[in-house]
Structure 1
Amino acid sequence: MKRILHITGSMNRAGAETMLMNLYREIDRTEYQFDFVVFTNKKTDYEDEIISLGGRIYKINESNPLKRFKALKHLFITNEDYQIVHCHTNFSNALHLLAAKFAKVKKRIAHSHNTVDKSHNKTIRFFYHSISKFIINNVATHFVSCGQEASDLLFYKNKKVLLIPNSVDVTSLSNFENTHKNYVNEMFNLESTVLKLIQVGRFQNEKNHEFTIEIANLLKSKGVNFKMFFLGVGELEHILKNKVSELNLEKEVVFLGIRSDVPEFMAGSDILLMPSLYEGFPVVLVESQAVGIPSLISDLISREVDLGVGKIFFEDITKPQIWVDQINNVMNSKKISTIDRLDIITKKGFDTKSNVQFLLEFYNSN
């Protein structure tokens, strides 16, 4: 059995981690096994499933770069089975790949999942990212990205990069449109006429939940019968709940925490909102298009996320009122059949079953 060690920030329900789990579930685990390094002592969302599938989780709770480097190097040296290390930590890949090189790991893979830089300090961004990018491009032996923009962010143009889109189980998700269309109505005892809006993502500044709450406030002022569901957790949860309370929106806005039934929620809702200040290539938008729910999203998100099935609508985030006005247009947009949608998404390379074969061939290549 060949064991591949994946280095991630955590294994919570976020974009890169969800994509990784989609691939992990599909591999032949009698021949391949995925193990994971996370930089936290806390239990992560996918931890139980990873262990049940035969994987291992190594927890290195070190924020100090030198101590993290030493811990990783020690892990690689004391576990010689790991001749493939696959890093998913964007610019931090530099440190982790360097530790792998010092430990003489043969195949060192850098994977770019982001299309934009998250740093707000331009000086720090320039020096840190320039140095990190130099190390990554000179220490990694192989390069992977979720799309062309992600590749351009992290890798030099002369590098041969394997593009593996953020794939999902397209066939299963496409069936939800019919099998789970009443999922939310039945769970919350809602009439079919109630407008159901959802936002999926951690409560962090870049996800812009406060903008979504302003949309809810405008909808209520107009007398719209709606429910808005937030699926996720995060450090801003308390602040956001206070804002909902101040605007007297407790009956309309529902906080649901971490959910394992996100696709089912999509299928039972009317519109997915994503007014993010920036994103990489969100897996949730691949899922939403496979399920068939229209998504109204920030125009700061890469155009690459639109897979051509008529379910993505871009809008600027200057005024919540613009989004409120757009809701009817999105709801009444032209529909494409489930079969055609499945075919388009699969042909564009976003189906996990196909991509797992490309990945395993990549692991076996020189």
Structure 2
Amino acid sequence: MSKNLPIRILQVGMTKNIGGLETYLMQQFAHLDKTKVTYDFVNITSEDEIVFKDKILQAGSHIYGVRSRHSNPIRHYWQWITLLHHIAKNYKGIVLNSNSITYVFPIFIARFFGIPMRIMHSHNSSFEQRIGFAKKVIMKMNRFLLKWGATNYFACSQLAGKWMFGEKTPFTVIPNAIDCSKFCFDSEIRNEMRKSLHIEDKFVVGHVGRFTYQKNHGFLIDVFNEIHKINPKAVLLLIGDAVGNMSYYEKAKQKVQQYGLTGCVQFLGMRNDVPLLMQAMDCFVLPSRFEGLPVVGIEAQAAGLPCFFSDTITREVGLTELAHFVSLKDSSEDWAKKITVAHTVNRKEAVNQVKAAGYEIESVAQKVQDFYLT
């Protein structure tokens, strides 16, 4: 491999959806000194374009395409082999960003083609679906392949690392850092956003998350129904899209209709202005069944919002006194009572607390960059 700078790292795991993993990667990518280290990306579901494609290409980076292994497994693996045969010599490292250990082929093949730094990065702490016998066998085999293929292990939290790699495997926690300046509270932006959404005089409950089993939208809507009983001026902003399976989105829509809350719940879809939308909110609710370390939880605290997380989410997300953890065993009424009495005094101060906790993107990007340069 050429010793000339910049060092190039292959990043795998970006999808068509703006989720926590994608946001994490782009935040880091944007704050690298690209004269020293830069990223290229492999889209492993090339039937669809990955998010932030234009920004990646404008920065002078490459996006390589590999067919989805679900639609055509033979083509998928062959394209990986062909791709690395041509480009492996140009890369010091490859990072597989993943929510599970059911797929580790890029790490395995990268060792075969001599990429010196091979990193598995855990972004979650449980499975989206039930794991049957076949997948358990695959996972056991993949753990063996990782021991042979991976040189380093990263995780977004202690919980995510121990879940994916086990108690005995050493790993490095890379904080899901954010650009804090984008979330610092601004009353003018708040007023503008609330006006544009026609919620000027409302109590605004916010949520950011794709419509999946993990995010637990059904319970969220149950909670909001109880909030609305307490405060009829309450509205709920749901930011996020369905991913492949539309059933969770449709069930959420149906539940909103059943409660008679259609005029009080806004389905905003996938948005690229989440920092602005958070200015308009009065609180943030994330009752997920599991998470690695949710980026949106860090963002919401930086925006000065009282945050209500399920107790299944790692306490590592609790960077400020704005973070409240509530059991999923508690009733929706209990959640609603806690949410409606919460308040924050100085929203502008919260961003400094997030920075002090080590979640400012500039410092984290520098640490990661230094790691690649060693």
Distance 2:169 2:214 in 1: 30
The equivalent position to 1:78 in structure 2, one of 81, 86, 101, is: 86
Distance 1:346 1:242 in 2: 40
TM-align CA RMSD:
2.2
Query: Which residue pairs with 1:2 in the alignment?
Result: 7
Contact 1:33 1:54 in 2 (8 A): no
* Identity score, percent: 27
The equivalent position to 2:61 in structure 1, one of 49, 52, 55, is: 55
Distance 1:220 1:289 in 2: 23
Distance 1:250 1:343 in 2: 37
TM-aligned CA distance change 1:326 to 1:100, over 3 Å: same
Report which stretch shifted further, 18-27 or 114-123.
114-123
TM-aligned CA distance change 1:43 to 1:157, over 3 Å: same
Contact 1:3 1:33 in 2 (8 A): yes
Alignment of 1:93-104 (within 5 A): 94-104=104-114
Q: Which amino acid aligns with 1:61?
A: R
Contact 1:215 1:323 in 2 (8 A): yes
Contact 2:69 2:77 in 1 (8 A): no
Unaligned runs of 5+ in 2: 1-5
Contact 1:11 1:38 in 2 (8 A): no
Unaligned runs of 5+ in 1: none
Query: Which residue pairs with 1:213 in the alignment?
Result: 221
The equivalent position to 1:316 in structure 2, one of 327, 331, 335, is: 327
1:214 Cα deviation from its structure 2 partner: 1.9
Contact 2:102 2:139 in 1 (8 A): no
TM-aligned CA distance change 1:45 to 1:337, over 3 Å: closer
Query: Which residue pairs with 2:117 in the alignment?
Result: 107
Q: SS of the counterpart of 1:229?
A: strand
Matched, 1:267 2:283: no
1:108 Cα deviation from its structure 2 partner: 0.9
Distance 2:106 2:316 in 1: 28
TM-aligned CA distance change 1:179 to 1:59, over 3 Å: farther
Give TM-score scaled by structure 1 length.
0.90
The equivalent position to 1:237 in structure 2, one of 230, 238, 249, is: 249
The equivalent position to 2:296 in structure 1, one of 272, 281, 284, is: 284
Contact 1:183 1:265 in 2 (8 A): no
Q: Which amino acid aligns with 1:144?
A: F
Give TM-score scaled by structure 2 length.
0.88
Distance 2:197 2:14 in 1: 34
Contact 1:73 1:100 in 2 (8 A): no
1:178 Cα deviation from its structure 2 partner: 4.0
TM-aligned CA distance change 1:92 to 1:105, over 3 Å: farther
1:124 Cα deviation from its structure 2 partner: 4.7
Instruction: Work out the number of aligned pairs and report it.
Output: 359
1:164 Cα deviation from its structure 2 partner: 1.3
Matched, 1:145 2:155: yes
1:76 Cα deviation from its structure 2 partner: 1.1
The equivalent position to 1:347 in structure 2, one of 331, 356, 370, is: 356
1:17 Cα deviation from its structure 2 partner: 1.2
